[in-house]
Homo-oligomer: A and B are copies of this chain.
Amino acid sequence: MTTTGSPAEPLAIGEVAARTGLSVHALRLYEREGLLVGPVGRTSGGRRRYTAADVEWLLICVKLRESGMPLADLKRFAELVRQGPGNEAERLRLLDAHRRRVEAQIRALEECRSVIAWKVGVYAEHLARGEADGLWDPTA
């Protein structure tokens, strides 16, 4: 149990990369860009030591990124958290707006999916019949 769960010991950047799926490069980028809530700890030698809380935040970041939140918004959110209590309404607004965008995106994708599925069906049918004549094909 040295590479699983939520360790009490702070983690090196490579470990964090492994468990967040971000590259070490990306991790350093995120830090430079101010996407982290607090400054990352360092060893006496200058190496980053991520706490469990850091990793947790990064995992949230990953989810938000996956769902298309731009780094700038993530940064804004991190700033709000960094500022401490008092701005929860704004945090909520930010997250909720994003949730709405995600839902819209899901709906759009579902529509795309059905268009694509239909097209796939058309091709499959023609193939099954062995006669795939010029579907949208102006040259045939």
Binding site for B on A (CB under 8 A): 37-38, 51, 53, 56-57, 60, 63-64, 66-67, 81-82, 84-85, 88-89, 91-92, 95-96, 98-99, 102-103, 105-106, 108-113, 115-117, 119-120, 123-124, 126-127, 132-140
Q: A51 CA to B138 CA in the complex, in Å?
A: 11
By the criterion CB–CB under 8 Å, are A126 and B81 in contact? no
**Number of copies of this chain in the oligomer?**
2
**For the complex, would chain A's binding face be called helix, strand, loop or mixed by DSSP majority?**
helix
**A134 touches which one: B85, B102, B117 (CB < 8 A)?**
B85
By the criterion CB–CB under 8 Å, are B38 and A119 in contact? no
Q: Closest CB of chain B to A34's CB: distance in Å? A: 14
Nearest to A124 among chain B residues (CB) is B92
Q: A85-B134, A132-B85, A140-B85 are in contact. Are A67 and B112 (CB under 8 A)?
A: yes
Q: Closest CB of chain B to A28's CB: distance in Å? A: 20
By the criterion CB–CB under 8 Å, are B112 and A109 in contact? no
